[in-house]
Structure 1
Amino acid sequence: MLRNLKTFTKKRPFISLFLLFIITLPVTLHIVFWGLVSLKAPRYQGEVRSEVLSAKATVIRDTIGIPHIVGEDAKSAYFALGFTMAQDRIFQMELQRRIGKGELSEIFGEKLIPTDRFLKSLLLKKTAEVYANQKDPLHPEAWQQLDWFLEGVNHFLATEPLPIEYTILGINPRPFDRVDAISFLFYMGFSFAEGIKSDSLYTIMESELVGRSAGELFPRYDFETNASILETQPGVKQLTANLPKPMKDGGFNSFVKPKELTNQIGLSEKTDVASLKGLLGFVNDLVLPIEPLEGSNSWLVAPNRSSSGGAVLANDPHIALSNPGAWYEAYIEYPGYENYGYFLSIIPFPLIAHNRDKAWGLTMLEQDDVNLYWETIEGSTYKSGSSWKELTYYKDEIKMKDGSTIPVEIPITNHGPLITEHIKGYKGRPVSLYWAHHHLENPLLDVLYQMGKAKSFQELDSASSLIGAPGLNFSYADKQGNIAYYAVGRFPILKSGNSRKILEGSTGENDVIGYVATKDNPKIINPKNGIIVTANNLVTNKSLPGLGRPDGNWQPPDRFQRLVGILETQEKWSLEELAAIQNDTVASFAPEYLEILFSTVKDSKSLGGKKVLEILKNWNFEHFPESQGAAVYDVFFYITMKELLIDEMGPDHFELYGEMAEYWNAYRRFVRNPNSLYWDDLRTVGVKETRDDILKRSVEATAKYLETHVSASPSLWKWKYLYKIKHPHPLGVLPLIGNIFNIGPMPSAGGAEVVNNLKYKLMKEDWTAMAGPSKRRVIDYGRFEESVTQLPIGNSGNLGSPFYGNLVEDYNQGIHRKILYSKEQVGAGKFRLEFHPK
């Protein structure tokens, strides 16, 4: 055969050349690709000169790539910061500005037109233009420093090679401006997915369910009695008299029952409900290369509870995992200013930071500042109470790759923009979006600037109180030993009270009539118990002035309750112990859940079912790669949830339900309530199932699922064979080269709603973590220079950088590193780049 091939190619030399070409093509492409990457690698050493500079600045990168920027004046420092961020994150910055302004189609093509239309309907660009072009800004120097930062970014664009992504997409970038930065900053403040999906699905289920309460699917904290920030801190004796108590009959507690609005109209029309399904699907399928903020943990320890005798702050914000990561870590110093911070790479001021005087962190407050309204439209008018008002319009255009444009016109009512106008096939009543950001002053850049300069927790509180949206939990600690918590952002007050579904907009009875005064926002300052914990849970069980008990898209209480349970176990905590807590993977609800299971299911007829029960009985409730219990428990959790709800919701609604926190809140309640009608399987006519029946059935189904999807051998039912972690790149979907940009998938400790909250899409049976801690950090003012942090994959998003993905193994293994703060700690560094006036 070989001799025949040699003879054949000898007689036909062109065949030989063709075969050689085919064989060597992958090698050639590999060499060409990595050669280009190398040519486009960032320049971390040498000099940069510019006529913009007024003084010298120096950037020293430590051994893992964190830049330490010292400027002789503010202008040079911010110019150097902009240039430095661009070296590592310029393509991410490109995506950030295009997301904020709805300009993704210009580089990704027509598939992103729906995403651009939706982003433009959020009016991010519109409000950014108004804010960026104001004549009398609150802090003029903040805008001046933004301009200096952008000059550094644009100097990089004009003088340095751009990373390989620009070559692949054929992008010729334009200079960055203020609106680019501010529109993305506003985007990160909009947690639209939870509010839009939850309100829409509640409305659909309320219309479709027969003999079932939609309220049971969306309970928020109606039945949680020990999970509010103000009332449930470690070491404080709980005053249960003022807390709602669960009812023995499984019904809704009247103290916390959500107000049923009687003036809802339009749901009798099947077209409206059917169209809502289109809205839900549209929002769920949006292609967004960068997701907004999602959740987070934070806790504070006062000097009397810390081993070091100093105040301690621990914080880990949760955001969708990505490559590059969400935060850019850097130190910046110039006369009168220094901060070690975590930046959005298109903004010059850190959202989270610390220095020798103070430290602050944030989590999402999750209060309900987003509402949807059914609108009645006739021509260019909409009905509002007893009168008709003229729609206003925001006009823009979508630019395409070929240079053509598509006009976009967004109608706006008194509630907000109509978000259903550009959804293909939508035939129902128009739906508008109310978002507090559209109705309040929201000077986010000025706030971040002032926070960085604040000298006390009173000054930080004063600065952050100007935020209209998003809702945030601020955590604060300082060298004087103070710890403090502030709920930031406005609580809207509706005339008819809060609702969890789409509101009728034409009557005026459901309009927002005001906001809780910022002075009445929840706060905790230097509590006697010495510890403050937040985890996106209910802020308070008490009434706020003018509002009553606040409602919101509260995340499940599991993480909060686990943190409280840990931190009340001993009097004093060390830096190392507090850092270890950030890696905790215990499922706090599991002991109660499994106690119910074992009281119901004593044995199984199948060998697989017996193994499921055996593994769960011996499990320590932790989620580590080698754990069998983690794999069995999470699958059992999912299977039981599916057996419970798929008959009422159907597969499509069930999958969408998994995109919001409510499914977890509801499941906690369902498991505790054997009397819920949802336990009866509607698919079995003439048979009425109980909770016991569904749990028994789920044990058997769990064994079959693991045998099919993991291994026929129960010894291999391990978390690492089911669950992975991945940091996807926007170009990771490209054929042939996409996986070069992605980091992972890889085994990792962690899981959903544990402290190490690496969440996956459970209802889609996608066991790859898609969101989690975007950084971990513990600042101890008793041991300041020993404070620690983690960054998921490293600082650089440039494939040619030696720091690309360099920290991913430490993150997977939960290894903290010391924060290098002082000049003595940083030393000569690994690379040094100097900036000089030209």
Structure 2
Amino acid sequence: MDDDITRRTLVGAIIGGTAVGGSLSPVRSYLRRFAPLSGSAWASATDDVNGSVESDYGSAKLRYDGDGVPNVTAENEAALYFAVGYAQARDRLFQLDLQRRLMRGRVAAVVGELAADSDEFHAQMDFAGAAETTWNHVVDADPDAAELVRAFSAGVNAFIENEPLPLEFGLLEYDPARWTPEDTMLMEKQISWTLTGSFLTLRRAKVASVLGPEAATDLYPERLGHDSPVIRGKDEGKTSEGTTANDVRRERGATDSEVVGAPLLDWLGGFERDRGIGSNSWLVSGKHTKSGKPIVSNDPHLSLMAPPVWYEVNLKRGDMRVRGVTFPGVPFVIIGENHAGAWGFTNAGADVIDFYRYETDGNRYRYGGNWREFEVEEREIEVADGENRTTTVRKTVHGPVLEREGYRVGVAWTGHTATESTIAIREYATSDGVEDFRAATERFDEPTQNLVYADRDGNTLYYVTGRIPRRTVDGEEVRGGRIFDGSAGEGEWKGFEPFGVSTWEGFVPFDEKPHVTDPDVIATANQRITDDQFLSEGYASPYRGQRIYELLDEATNDGDVDVNTMERIQDDTLDKRAEALVPTLLDAARREDGLESAVETFSGWDYRMERDSKAALLFVRWFDAYREAVLADTFDEAGLSEEYHPRDWVLAHLDGERWFGSGGRSATMVHALRVAWKRVEEGGDETYGDYNTTEAITHPFDQSFLNFPVLVTDGSSHTVNNYRKNSAVGSSWRMICPMAGDSQAIIPGGNSGDYFSDHYHDQLRRWANTEYKPMSHEIRGDVAVEFGGKE
């Protein structure tokens, strides 16, 4: 190996790319040259831990069931979460540490220069400051919940201080710092940013400036024209999405161009939420089930990695039972069920971030007719084996300012204020029914989610969570898809206090947010929430939502829905894109020479993205070729990358000479088919399964021994059984919870992050085959660790 290529810089290249959501660096191939299991790395690779651990919070016991899920019992709630903290550290400590380093802007300190740009972004956004503000608020608002977070942190630290560290720390040759309650609040901010952090407004402004407003409207329409919103018809209990906004638009001129320069947008593009991230959830009331009790299903679509993003736990304290998943670093179950009911989430897509331009003069900005000083702090970015950087953290009355090479934009994001979601999810675990759950949901102020809930008394509930801002310009309520004049106070959120405690008076009240009390059937797949009102500019393509409602309508007409019904829906692989586009494509292709084999492959296809289907392989190749044919030349000439591509539903509905030239849409579709068929013939793949494997699900280091096995699976980016190989996003947790009967679930990998554990990837094959494991509340397994004495 070249002397100037060190282990740290190579690992840094990989982690730097992974952490910011960009493509994995090609230097991963160099890392495979290492023989890492030697020296300090090998010394840290052991599962020889203590069976007895001191705790100041009371007695508890940690067991592991046959799937590696920690089963924790305790004499009180604080003792319970101390044990949960210890278990998370035992199973996922490197994941915890990497996540908080990312959000604090401290990854370069252990991996080097290649993570420094990421650190600068996270420092300028000051997620850590928002986490500290939130922690201080939780302490005041709910001292009991705060004490449980402290207990959890103490449990993490008990492992750090007394047990061998995981393998990854040996590879990078550093030790983790103590875990703090602020770190747990930081994980709340990370979750929220992953789901709501979008620079779509800035991209739209850029497209408008280089391609014109009409092209921007074509590519980013304010409404996707479909008939399958979450809330259908005139459901009783429904409210609107809030007040209809008059969209006061102004011509975009030089002022916007000064904000959306390429250096700034190119930098920011790697740090926003993955546009492929979404989820499915639905519930069916007892009116339509065999048992007469409701059933809840949920499969959130998040990044797929080794170890998985979710961590499953089974907890018991007195009469409280709660089982489900949480994110490493968060003590409380986020998705799951307790003794009373079950709940799940999908992303609501609400627009909770705004951008501002300012009139500036040196370190001053004009606001409300006066000049103000930016709030400024210089922060040092530590760079291992390199020169440290200094970045300027600048803030206005609206929030932080992001700047790069002379371009500057102000940001207001709901996660930058004190929030109470930590309190809400703790209350979910102890809730005794729908009224408790609704009350807890009122405190769930970030992120905006579609919540579905059912309980064993037969109640069902749908609610949009999170704070949704209302914006005004010259007294008129407007939408947020524009860059506001911050100096003039345009679009401000009344009662919002960045890095403080907000009153939320300018936000949609809880009772006015979209909700349905006791729905018989409701399905969410990130599609538009209602037909009559505006909530977001970032709704997903409606294909999954349409398909779920089709299947549910068919099933509920029979009136005998059960767990098997829910399994079939979660396993459904019909791609509504193909259903809509392939018939038109075939009509055009049959009139052309040289496409007989491609036409034969598509003829009779049922539009299912199944592993043994050659038609599914041809379709995924064709859709990629079609996207290139429609967009590539226009975007390349304008200097726009793939980050500016529209949603697939928009691409499928584009029309007109601007996008298809004089030959029209049909000619472009046929041209793409010729390209796709050639790629299939030359690519060596025979069926969709040859392409659609779990190869993309990798460890941050992407070493073969740390990666999961490569398995064949089904599904696409727009099927209910969701897997998106190109972006390593898909069903990150599948759960089915009947209110009468046994619940079941699966994660894509294993519950342990320890490579040497039997549970490192023991659920992966079942996940790839859409199979399940039991999700029992029964406490199982032998005692692995006892805390603070006997129960």
TM range (shorter): 0.7 to 0.9
The answer (yes or no) to whether the contact 2:340–2:455 under 8 Å persists in 1 is yes
Letter in 1 for 2:736: V
| 2:307 equivalent to 1:324 | yes
Inter-partner Cα distance in structure 2 for 1:679 and 1:820? 54
**Aligned counterpart, 2:658:** 678
Inter-partner Cα distance in structure 1 for 2:100 and 2:63? 28
Instruction: Give the structure-1-normalised TM-score.
Output: 0.82
The answer (yes or no) to whether the contact 2:44–2:167 under 8 Å persists in 1 is no
**Aligned counterpart, 1:19:** none
| 2:740 equivalent to 1:740 | no
**Aligned counterpart, 1:836:** 788
Cα offset, 1:35, TM superposition? 11
- The 5 A counterparts of 1:544-583 are 549-570=534-555, 571-583=559-571
**Secondary structure in structure 2 of the residue aligned to 1:410:** strand
Inter-partner Cα distance in structure 2 for 1:34 and 1:299? 50
CA displacement, residues 115-143 of structure 1 (integer Å, 9 cap, x when unaligned): 11111222210011122234952211111
The answer (yes or no) to whether the contact 2:711–2:765 under 8 Å persists in 1 is no
Inter-partner Cα distance in structure 2 for 1:388 and 1:321? 47
Larger radius of gyration: 1
Inter-partner Cα distance in structure 2 for 1:665 and 1:490? 28
Inter-partner Cα distance in structure 2 for 1:317 and 1:573? 22
User: Pick from 627, 642, 652: which aligns with 1:668?
Assistant: 652
The answer (yes or no) to whether the contact 2:103–2:190 under 8 Å persists in 1 is yes
CA displacement, residues 74-100 of structure 1 (integer Å, 9 cap, x when unaligned): 232222111111111011111122122
**Aligned counterpart, 2:491:** 510
User: Pick from 580, 584, 590: which aligns with 1:602?
Assistant: 590
**Aligned counterpart, 2:730:** 772
The answer (yes or no) to whether the contact 1:101–1:184 under 8 Å persists in 2 is no
Cα offset, 1:51, TM superposition? 5.1
Inter-partner Cα distance in structure 1 for 2:286 and 2:213? 55
**Aligned counterpart, 2:694:** 725
Stretches of structure 2 lacking an aligned partner (at least 5 in a row): 1-30, 495-505
Cα offset, 1:160, TM superposition? 0.9
Q: Identify if the C-alpha distance between structure 1 residues 223 and 194 changes in structure 2 by more than 3 Å, giving closer, same or farther.
A: farther
Q: Identify if the C-alpha distance between structure 1 residues 40 and 261 changes in structure 2 by more than 3 Å, giving closer, same or farther.
A: same
Q: Identify if the C-alpha distance between structure 1 residues 557 and 292 changes in structure 2 by more than 3 Å, giving closer, same or farther.
A: closer
Q: Identify if the C-alpha distance between structure 1 residues 793 and 515 changes in structure 2 by more than 3 Å, giving closer, same or farther.
A: same
Cα offset, 1:476, TM superposition? 0.3
| 2:591 equivalent to 1:613 | no
Letter in 2 for 1:779: C
Q: Identify if the C-alpha distance between structure 1 residues 31 and 172 changes in structure 2 by more than 3 Å, giving closer, same or farther.
A: closer
**Secondary structure in structure 2 of the residue aligned to 1:63:** coil
Q: Identify if the C-alpha distance between structure 1 residues 260 and 720 changes in structure 2 by more than 3 Å, giving closer, same or farther.
A: farther
Cα offset, 1:641, TM superposition? 2.0
User: Pick from 169, 174, 189: which aligns with 1:186?
Assistant: 189
| 2:123 equivalent to 1:120 | yes
| 2:666 equivalent to 1:692 | yes
Letter in 1 for 2:45: K
The answer (yes or no) to whether the contact 1:163–1:799 under 8 Å persists in 2 is no
**Aligned counterpart, 1:40:** 45
Cα offset, 1:511, TM superposition? 3.1
Using the TM superposition, name which of 587-596 and 472-481 deviates more. 587-596
Cα offset, 1:377, TM superposition? 1.7
**Aligned counterpart, 1:427:** 406
- The 5 A counterparts of 1:295-310 are 295-310=278-293
**Aligned counterpart, 2:498:** none
Using the TM superposition, name which of 472-481 and 592-601 deviates more. 592-601
Q: Identify if the C-alpha distance between structure 1 residues 29 and 112 changes in structure 2 by more than 3 Å, giving closer, same or farther.
A: closer
The answer (yes or no) to whether the contact 1:323–1:743 under 8 Å persists in 2 is yes
Letter in 1 for 2:732: S
Q: Identify if the C-alpha distance between structure 1 residues 816 and 32 changes in structure 2 by more than 3 Å, giving closer, same or farther.
A: closer
Cα offset, 1:724, TM superposition? 2.5
Letter in 2 for 1:724: T
| 2:632 equivalent to 1:646 | yes
Inter-partner Cα distance in structure 2 for 1:538 and 1:135? 33
**Aligned counterpart, 1:795:** 751
Inter-partner Cα distance in structure 1 for 2:515 and 2:786? 44
Cα offset, 1:669, TM superposition? 2.2
**Aligned counterpart, 2:21:** none
User: Pick from 396, 404, 414: which aligns with 1:413?
Assistant: 396
- The 5 A counterparts of 1:345-424 are 345-401=328-384, 406-420=389-403, 423=404
The answer (yes or no) to whether the contact 1:625–1:720 under 8 Å persists in 2 is yes
Cα offset, 1:431, TM superposition? 0.9
Using the TM superposition, name which of 772-781 and 113-122 deviates more. 113-122
The answer (yes or no) to whether the contact 2:572–2:719 under 8 Å persists in 1 is yes
Inter-partner Cα distance in structure 2 for 1:694 and 1:169? 50
CA displacement, residues 41-75 of structure 1 (integer Å, 9 cap, x when unaligned): 3347x6213152532x2222111211111112223
Using the TM superposition, name which of 372-381 and 110-119 deviates more. 372-381
CA displacement, residues 727-772 of structure 1 (integer Å, 9 cap, x when unaligned): 6455424xxxx222122443211111111221244xxxxxxx5111
Cα offset, 1:322, TM superposition? 1.1
Inter-partner Cα distance in structure 2 for 1:567 and 1:231? 13
**Aligned counterpart, 1:588:** 576
Letter in 2 for 1:199: T
Inter-partner Cα distance in structure 2 for 1:592 and 1:442? 43
**Aligned counterpart, 1:219:** 221
The answer (yes or no) to whether the contact 2:41–2:170 under 8 Å persists in 1 is no
The answer (yes or no) to whether the contact 1:264–1:503 under 8 Å persists in 2 is no
Q: CA RMSD in A?
A: 3.1
**Secondary structure in structure 2 of the residue aligned to 1:329:** strand
- Number of aligned positions between the proteins: 738
Stretches of structure 1 lacking an aligned partner (at least 5 in a row): 1-25, 244-255, 544-548, 682-687, 762-768
Cα offset, 1:109, TM superposition? 1.1
Using the TM superposition, name which of 458-467 and 503-512 deviates more. 503-512
Q: Identify if the C-alpha distance between structure 1 residues 36 and 119 changes in structure 2 by more than 3 Å, giving closer, same or farther.
A: closer
**Aligned counterpart, 2:3:** none
Q: Identify if the C-alpha distance between structure 1 residues 75 and 257 changes in structure 2 by more than 3 Å, giving closer, same or farther.
A: closer
Instruction: Give the structure-2-normalised TM-score.
Output: 0.87
Letter in 1 for 2:54: S
**Aligned counterpart, 1:5:** none
**Aligned counterpart, 2:678:** 704
Cα offset, 1:656, TM superposition? 1.3
Cα offset, 1:706, TM superposition? 1.9
Q: Identify if the C-alpha distance between structure 1 residues 37 and 268 changes in structure 2 by more than 3 Å, giving closer, same or farther.
A: closer
**Aligned counterpart, 2:250:** 262
Q: Identify if the C-alpha distance between structure 1 residues 28 and 123 changes in structure 2 by more than 3 Å, giving closer, same or farther.
A: closer
**Secondary structure in structure 1 of the residue aligned to 2:312:** strand
Letter in 2 for 1:397: E
Inter-partner Cα distance in structure 1 for 2:523 and 2:249? 34
The answer (yes or no) to whether the contact 2:139–2:146 under 8 Å persists in 1 is no
The answer (yes or no) to whether the contact 1:394–1:409 under 8 Å persists in 2 is yes
**Aligned counterpart, 2:774:** 818
**Aligned counterpart, 2:24:** none
**Aligned counterpart, 1:15:** none
Q: Identify if the C-alpha distance between structure 1 residues 330 and 610 changes in structure 2 by more than 3 Å, giving closer, same or farther.
A: same
CA displacement, residues 397-421 of structure 1 (integer Å, 9 cap, x when unaligned): 333336986443311122221112x
**Secondary structure in structure 1 of the residue aligned to 2:325:** strand
CA displacement, residues 2-50 of structure 1 (integer Å, 9 cap, x when unaligned): xxxxxxxxxxxxxxxxxxxxxxxx9999695499658633347x62131
**Aligned counterpart, 1:21:** none
Q: Identify if the C-alpha distance between structure 1 residues 372 and 114 changes in structure 2 by more than 3 Å, giving closer, same or farther.
A: same
| 2:104 equivalent to 1:101 | yes
**Aligned counterpart, 2:453:** 476
**Aligned counterpart, 1:168:** 171
**Aligned counterpart, 1:522:** 514
Letter in 1 for 2:676: T
**Quick one: percent identity of the two aligned structures?**
22
